[in-house]
């Protein structure tokens, strides 16, 4: 039992930025053909270490076919919430959902990251029985325990009832039940995050399981049948208070990134593709006068390309869509990083003025047509996908895989798992670190990254940075 | 428990009322970080002072809700010891429950951050903050003065009620002075880093406090039987 709060819990984003830098990263590995069990890789990210940028430990799961995607900590800075007063949890367990199997693993990272091991396995049946949800995805540590979004409802194909969020106990990891009391117009799910002192949650939409599990369904996309709404909720009342339609052509608004400083009542949303012109876009949402608003604040155009260089899926369009599949915001709320998985670009926007993002930096790596190599000369298959920014904002890490069946459609040439890092230069600008390259073990792809002690998409802060 | 009852003076009991108030006040779990947050989020110290009011009133009501039933029970003079023994056991039992049944607080998440009074009330009830005061209160109500034993039940009840309000008020005042002081220091001088730095795990000590208070009350009640 801890006598003092975990030293990795910080009252404000500013305090988190001043904390010591990360020395280990956790990266999810997935076996795209399900021939091997998925795994968690522990990567040494301490500069100067003999094993720098290498996988130093892996936790291999006992089952196959889980499809690891996103994951998160059992506890974070939200434990310092003045409301729920539970400061003595430990940031210790990683909660890893299998998005395909609906199985959930709890991994113990103590006593040392290189000794991480399985602590508990929650079988899919327990999730189905207690929540009626399936396909668990985004994990956030919050005031009532661990909140997990589920992308599917009940039944074999996950379409029996709407998907939603469920809560797990942050100590026993028992599934407690559904979070929503009134979901309003919400019928699809993807990501969620919140502003704890302001008491609201924001959720986004991808698509229902038949729309993604066996690959993207082009007819459904062109018919604008993927998600295109954003939902705003009263967090303590568990009620949907407002739903905004982005316009049906804005397909798949995925990652929700609220400003980290809780005094700021705005945030961002990345939209994967506009079916009118294939562009990707960044949207800014904000609360004013008790109502939520959202507008498109940046667009990234598609890049024309000859048909013979395109995968069959894109040949009819003669262009590569940027495919904005992930965005991440630095802890000082200054830079928004945008992954363009199709064109192979990582963009850095200065969002000091949240409704006027300014392009501040960019690096190219991979891409469907560009295929830009890493500065070390290695081939980076795929494009920048899952991002993670260090707490101090100086390093941006990313991997290359989106989702097994979609990877194969957009990058049919294959995609060995890789993780790279770019340095964020003072005053703006990005530069790929030549000496940082992590190869996933043979046959594995790499997805989300979590940094030891917290990162820019984990911790929720309850006090402003003054 | 060999201390003679005579030394358990009124002065000490009042000191316990104030002391428990200060103890509850400095405990972050009783709400001073909420006042800090209110001040910082509104960017004005006025919001901090305003937040202290509902926190104090919620705490005061939680004390009253727990103590008032005892003020009526305490009027049954002939059952004095039994009531004290019962109260002592209740407080010890709650302490044991707090020690063994510690779970992540979930009900509190249903309270809006703006409902500070309700929050303060709920958190004080949940932690047994009012129960901690019951044995002290019963000690103050002790009809030690012989003539009180002959008073009419009605008069005794009203005297006990006044005492209950007085005890709760003094306790809540001490609580909010201590909590308000902490909030102001952190807001004005120490910074929010102090929220984590000052937060000691009082769970066990808190549960132990309940058990100690209950045990002392029990000891005196049993001693008083003879």
Angle, nearest 10°, between helix axes B129-141 and B10-26? 170
Query: Smallest Cα–Cα separation from B41: which of A456, A465, A86?
Result: A465
Q: Which pLDDT tens digit goes with each residue over B158-167? A: 888 999 999 9
Q: Is-contact A437 A379, C-beta < 8 A?
A: no
Of A63-67, A127-131, A442-446, B65-69, least confident by mean pLDDT is B65-69
Chain A interface, mutation test: which of B31, B33, B122, B179, most A Cβ atoms within 10 Å?
A: B33
Query: Smallest Cα–Cα separation from A215: which of A400, A30, A406, A413?
Result: A406
How far is A254 from A271, CA to CA, in rounded Å? 6
How far is A238 from A232, CA to CA, in rounded Å? 10
CB-closest option in B40, B104, B112 to A463: B40
Q: Measured between CB atoms, does A85 come within 8 Å of chain B?
A: yes
The residue-averaged pLDDT of A275-287 equals 98
**CATH number for position A82:** 2.130.10.10
Chain A interface, mutation test: which of B29, B40, B112, most A Cβ atoms within 10 Å?
A: B40
Does B28 sit within 8 Å of A11, measured CB to CB?
no
Q: Measured between CB atoms, does A171 come within 8 Å of chain B?
A: yes
How far is A94 from A24, CA to CA, in rounded Å? 14
How far is A43 from A272, CA to CA, in rounded Å? 29
In a domain, A155, yes or no: yes
Q: Which pLDDT tens digit goes with each residue over B97-124? A: 888 877 766 777 888 988 999 999 999 9
Does A462 sit within 8 Å of B199, measured CB to CB?
no
Q: Which pLDDT tens digit goes with each residue over A378-426? A: 999 999 999 999 999 999 999 999 999 999 999 999 999 999 999 999 9
How confident is the model at residue B79, as a pLDDT? 80
Chain B interface, mutation test: which of A7, A15, A74, A85, most B Cβ atoms within 10 Å?
A: A85
Q: Which pLDDT tens digit goes with each residue over A12-21? A: 999 999 999 9
Does A5 sit within 8 Å of B40, measured CB to CB?
no
Assigned token pair, B61: 């009501």
In a domain, A466, yes or no: no
How far is A404 from B167, CA to CA, in rounded Å? 66
More confident: A89 or A268:
A268
Checking if the pLDDT of B207 tops 70, the result is: yes
How confident is the model at residue B7, as a pLDDT? 55
Residue B44 domain boundaries = 5-225
H or E stretch including A458? Answer: none
Does B119 sit within 8 Å of A145, measured CB to CB?
no
Does A82 sit within 8 Å of B192, measured CB to CB?
no
Does B192 sit within 8 Å of A199, measured CB to CB?
no
Q: Chain B residues with CB inside 8 Å of A10's CB? A: 196
Does B195 sit within 8 Å of A199, measured CB to CB?
no
CB-closest option in A80, A87, A199 to B113: A199
How far is B10 from B21, CA to CA, in rounded Å? 17
Checking if the pLDDT of B139 tops 70, the result is: yes
The residue-averaged pLDDT of B200-216 equals 84
In a domain, A57, yes or no: yes
Checking if the pLDDT of B144 tops 70, the result is: no
Q: Chain A residues with CB inside 8 Å of B28's CB? A: 82, 85, 87
Checking if the pLDDT of B1 tops 50, the result is: no
Q: For residue A419, what are the β-bridge partners? A: A399, A438
Q: Measured between CB atoms, does A177 come within 8 Å of chain B?
A: no
So what's the ipTM on this one? Answer: 0.89
How confident is the model at residue A48, as a pLDDT? 96
How confident is the model at residue A454, as a pLDDT? 97
Q: Which pLDDT tens digit goes with each residue over B49-100? A: 999 999 999 999 999 999 998 888 877 767 878 888 888 899 999 888 888 8
How confident is the model at residue B146, as a pLDDT? 43
Q: What are phi and psi of A169, to 5 degrees?
A: -70, 135
Checking if the pLDDT of B40 tops 50, the result is: yes
Q: Chain B residues with CB inside 8 Å of A200's CB? A: none
Indicate the length of chain A as a whole number: 466
Contacts of residue A406, defined as CB under 8 A and 6 or more positions apart, other chains included, come to A212, A215, A216
Does A82 sit within 8 Å of B37, measured CB to CB?
yes
CB-closest option in A87, A89, A199 to B196: A87
Checking if the pLDDT of A459 tops 80, the result is: yes
The residue-averaged pLDDT of B115-136 equals 90
CB-closest option in A145, A198, A236 to B111: A236
Helix (H, G, I), strand (E, B) or coil at B205: helix
The residue-averaged pLDDT of A422-433 equals 97
Q: Which pLDDT tens digit goes with each residue over A81-138? A: 988 767 789 999 999 999 999 999 999 999 999 999 999 999 999 999 999 999 999 9
Q: Which residue is listed with tokens 């604008």?
A: A224
pLDDT, mean over chain A: 96
String of DSSP letters for A8-45:
T--SSHHHHHHSPPPSEEEEEEE-TTSSS--EEEEEE-
Q: Which pLDDT tens digit goes with each residue over A221-253? A: 999 999 999 999 999 999 999 999 999 999 999
Does A11 sit within 8 Å of B192, measured CB to CB?
yes
Quick one: B47 exposed, middle or buried, by C-beta within 10 A (0-12, 13-18, 19+)? middle
Chain B interface, mutation test: which of A83, A260, A263, most B Cβ atoms within 10 Å?
A: A83
User: What is the total count of domains within chain B?
Assistant: 1
Distances (CA, A) of A186 to A73, A139, A272, B52: 26, 19, 19, 38
Residue of B nearest to A144 (CA): B106
Q: Chain B residues with CB inside 8 Å of A262's CB? A: 41
User: What is the total count of domains within chain A?
Assistant: 1
Contacts of residue A80, defined as CB under 8 A and 6 or more positions apart, other chains included, come to A5, A9, A10, A11, A87, A462, A463, B33, B195, B196, B199
Interface of B with A (CB under 8 A): 28-29, 31, 33-34, 36-37, 40-41, 43, 103-106, 108-114, 119, 123, 191-193, 195-196, 199-201, 203-204
CB-closest option in A9, A144, A263 to B196: A9
In a domain, A456, yes or no: no
In a domain, A414, yes or no: yes
Work out the pLDDT band at A159, boundaries 50, 70, 90: very high
How far is A456 from A396, CA to CA, in rounded Å? 10
Kindly report the CA angle at A451 between A259 and A167, in degrees rounded to 5?
A: 65
Q: Please state, for a pLDDT cut of 90, what percent of chain A lies above it.
A: 97
Q: Measured between CB atoms, does A145 come within 8 Å of chain B?
A: yes
Residue of B nearest to A88 (CA): B201
Residue A200 domain boundaries = 13-451
Chain A interface, mutation test: which of B47, B129, B190, B199, most A Cβ atoms within 10 Å?
A: B199
Q: How far is A98 from chain B (nearest CA, A)?
A: 25
In a domain, A299, yes or no: yes
Chain A interface, mutation test: which of B36, B104, B193, most A Cβ atoms within 10 Å?
A: B104
Q: Is-contact A455 A390, C-beta < 8 A?
A: yes
Q: Please state, for a pLDDT cut of 70, what percent of chain A lies above it.
A: 100
The residue-averaged pLDDT of A281-296 equals 97
In a domain, A428, yes or no: yes
Q: Measured between CB atoms, does A462 come within 8 Å of chain B?
A: yes
Q: Which pLDDT tens digit goes with each residue over A171-216? A: 999 999 999 999 999 999 999 999 999 999 999 999 999 999 999 9
Residues 259-298, chain A: which have Cβ within 8 Å of B? Answer: 262-263
């Amino acid at each position: 039992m801890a006598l003092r709060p975990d030293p990795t819990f910080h009252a404000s984003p500013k305090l988190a930025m001043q904390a010591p830098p990360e020395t280990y990263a956790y990266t999810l590995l997935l076996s795209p053909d399900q021939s091997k069990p998925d795994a968690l890789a522990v990567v040494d990210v301490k500069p100067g270490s003999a094993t720098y940028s290498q996988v130093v430990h892996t936790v291999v799961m006992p089952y196959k076919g889980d499809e690891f995607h996103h994951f998160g900590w059992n506890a974070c800075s939200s434990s310092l919430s003045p409301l729920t007063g539970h400061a003595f949890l430990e940031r210790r367990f990683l909660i890893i959902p299998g998005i395909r199997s609906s199985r959930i693993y709890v991994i113990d990272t103590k006593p040392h990251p290189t000794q991480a091991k399985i602590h508990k396995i929650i079988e899919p049946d327990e999730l189905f029985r207690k929540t009626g949800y399936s396909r668990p995805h985004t994990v956030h540590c919050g005031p009532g325990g661990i909140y997990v979004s589920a992308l599917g409802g009940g039944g074999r194909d996950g379409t029996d009832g709407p998907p939603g969020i469920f809560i797990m106990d942050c100590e026993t990891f028992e599934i407690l039940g559904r979070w929503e009391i009134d979901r309003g117009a919400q019928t699809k799910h993807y990501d969620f995050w919140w502003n704890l002192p302001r008491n609201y949650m924001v959720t986004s939409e991808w698509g229902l399981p038949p729309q993604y599990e066996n690959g993207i369904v082009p007819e459904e996309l062109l018919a604008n049948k993927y998600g295109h709404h954003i939902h705003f909720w009263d967090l303590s009342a568990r009620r949907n208070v407002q739903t905004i339609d982005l316009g049906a052509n804005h397909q798949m608004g995925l990652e929700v990134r609220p400003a980290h400083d809780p005094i700021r009542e705005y945030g961002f949303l990345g939209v994967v593709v506009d079916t009118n012109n294939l562009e990707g876009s960044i949207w800014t949402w904000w609360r004013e006068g008790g109502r939520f608003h959202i507008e498109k604040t940046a667009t990234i155009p598609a890049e024309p390309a000859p048909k013979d260089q395109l995968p069959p899926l894109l040949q009819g369009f003669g262009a590569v869509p940027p495919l904005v599949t992930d965005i991440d915001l630095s802890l000082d709320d200054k830079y928004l990083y945008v992954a363009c998985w199709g064109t192979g670009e990582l963009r850095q926007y200065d969002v000091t003025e949240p409704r006027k993002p300014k392009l501040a930096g960019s690096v190219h790596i991979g891409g469907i047509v560009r295929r830009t190599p890493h500065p070390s000369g290695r081939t980076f298959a795929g494009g920048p996908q899952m991002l993670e920014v260090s707490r101090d904002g100086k390093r941006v890490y990313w991997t290359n895989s989106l989702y097994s069946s979609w990877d194969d459609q957009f990058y049919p040439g294959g995609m060995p798992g890789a993780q790279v890092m770019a340095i964020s230069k003072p005053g703006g600008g990005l530069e790929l670190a030549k000496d940082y390259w992590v190869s996933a073990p043979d046959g594995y792809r790499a997805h989300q990254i979590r940094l030891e002690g917290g990162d820019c998409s984990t911790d929720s802060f309850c006090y402003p940075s003054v | 428990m060999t201390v003679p009852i005579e030394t358990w003076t009124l002065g000490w009991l009042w000191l316990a009322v104030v002391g428990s108030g200060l103890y509850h006040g400095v405990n972050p779990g009783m709400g001073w970080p909420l006042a800090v947050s209110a001040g910082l989020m509104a960017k004005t110290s006025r919001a901090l002072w305003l937040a202290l009011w509902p926190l104090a009133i919620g705490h005061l009501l939680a004390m009253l809700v727990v103590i008032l039933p005892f003020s009526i029970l305490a009027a049954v003079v002939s059952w004095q010891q039994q009531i004290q023994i019962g109260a002592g056991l209740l407080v010890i039992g709650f302490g044991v429950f707090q020690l063994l049944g510690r779970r992540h607080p979930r009900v509190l998440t249903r309270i809006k951050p703006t409902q500070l009074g309700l929050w303060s009330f709920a958190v004080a009830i949940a932690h047994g903050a009012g129960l901690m005061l019951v044995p002290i209160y019963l000690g103050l109500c002790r009809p030690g003065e012989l003539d009180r034993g002959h008073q009419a039940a009605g008069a005794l009840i009203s005297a006990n009620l006044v005492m209950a309000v007085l005890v709760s008020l003094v306790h809540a005042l001490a609580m909010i002075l201590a909590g308000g002081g902490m909030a102001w220091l952190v807001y004005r001088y120490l910074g929010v880093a102090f929220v984590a730095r000052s937060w000691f795990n009082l769970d066990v000590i808190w549960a132990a406090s309940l058990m100690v208070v209950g045990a002392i009350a029990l000891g005196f009640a049993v001693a008083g039987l003879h």
